[in-house]
Amino acid sequence: MTTTFLRRTLTAAAATGGAAVLILTAAAGASAHVGVTPNKTDANSYALLTFGIPHGCEESGTTKVAITLPAELNDAQPTVNPNWTVEKVTEQLAEPKKLADGTSITKRTSQIVYTAKAPLDHELRDALVLSVKLPDASGTTLYFPTLQSCEAGQTDWSEIAKDGQDPHSLKAPAPSITITEAASADGHGAAASTAHTGEPLATEQAAAVTDSGADARSWAGLAAGLGGLALAGWPSRAATQSAGRNPPRNIAGFDARMITIRASNRPVCPWHR
C-alpha cells in the first residue's frame, strides 16, 4: 500500500464520516420538533396525518397534546392510541359554511386533544394519527398549532414563518403540510373509500405509526452504510494492487500461463499446442 493511497483512503473516510455526522445532526434537529407526516397530500383526498411527539418539556414527561385544526378543515377522525384518551373540541361558526355537496354546517371540529393515561417519559416518543379530508386547494399550506403540556411546563408549537423568513430559524414551528395536485380527476380514490370501511383504514393508520417510529433507525443505518463504503475501499484496493505486482505464476507446479482455453472453450493440454 503506497503512502499516496493511504492518504487518499483516510481522506475519503474522513469526508464520509463528516457527511454521516452532518446527516445525523440534521435528522436529530428535525426530530427535535413536534411535527406532522402525511401519508398523502393530494387535494380533495383523505389523508392520515401522523404527529410525532419526540420528547417532553426538557426533562418533564408529556401529559397532554392539543392539536388545533386549520380553518380549511371541518373535522378530523382521531386514531385510537392505547396510551392516551382523546376528545374533540367543536366551535360554533360565525356564519353557516357551505360544503361542496351543497349542504351547510354551523359548527366544526376546531381541536383534537390527547391526554396521556400516564406521563410520556421525556426520553420516549409516541405518534398520534388523525384522518382528515384535505380541501381542494392545491398549493395551500395547512398549519396545525400544537400545545404540548408536560408535568412541569409546556411548549407551544405554533410559530409560523413570515414572508422571507427561514422556517428553520423558528424555535417552535407549527406542524404543517402543503397540499399538492390531485392524483386523479375525481380526487376521491382508494384512500377515500377506505375511510368509510374501517378495516383498511385501521391497517393504514397502524403502518403510519410504525413508519414514523423507524425514521431514526433509517438515518442511523444510512450513516453506518456510508462509513462502511469508505472503509471497504481500503482492503479491496490493497488486494488489487498486491495482485497486480505479484500475478499468480505457479499453481501446484504448473505455470498458470500454460493453462489456456481456445475459442471452442475446450481445455488444451499445455504440451500439445
In this predicted structure, the answer to whether residue 153 has a pLDDT above a threshold of 90 is yes
Sign of dihedral through CA atoms 142, 96, 198, 145?
positive
pLDDT given for residue 45 in this prediction:
95
Residue 183's pLDDT band (cuts 50, 70, 90): confident
What are the pLDDT digits (tens) for 58-94?
Answer: 899 999 999 999 999 999 999 999 999 999 999 999 9
Of the candidates 119, 182, 142, 163, the one whose C-alpha atom is nearest the C-alpha of residue 51 is 142
Q: Residue 145 sits in which domain range?
A: 34-185
pLDDT at position 221 is 55
- What average pLDDT does the structure give for the chain? 74
CB 153 within 8 A of CB 60: yes
Q: Which of 141, 161, 185 is the last residue of a domain?
A: 185
Q: pLDDT value at position 197? A: 38
If asked whether residues 256 and 165 sit together in one domain, one would say no
Query: What CATH number should be reported for the domain holding residue 85?
Result: 2.60.40.2230
Q: Yes or no: say if 56 and 150 are a contact pair by the CB < 8 Å rule.
A: yes
Together in a domain, 167 and 232? no
Residue 178 shares a structural domain with residue 256? no
What is the percent of the chain where pLDDT is above 90?
52
Give domain status of residue 210, yes or no: no
Q: How far is it, in rounded angstroms, from Cα 273 to Cα 269?
A: 7
8-20 average pLDDT score: 48
Q: How confident is the model at residue 225 (pLDDT cuts 50, 70, 90)?
A: low
Last residue of a domain, one of 185, 213, 229: 185
Whether 44 shows a pLDDT value over 50: the answer reads yes
Q: Which residue has the higher pLDDT, 32 or 158?
A: 158
Cell 397502524 sits at which residue?
Answer: 206
What pLDDT sits at residue 271? Answer: 46
Rounded to an integer, the average pLDDT of 110-133 is 97
Q: Is 44 left (phi over 0), alpha (psi -120 to 50) or beta?
A: left
What is the pLDDT, as a whole number, of residue 33? Answer: 87
Q: Residue 90: what pLDDT? A: 98
**Residues 81, 15 share a domain:** no
> 195 or 33, which is more confident?
33
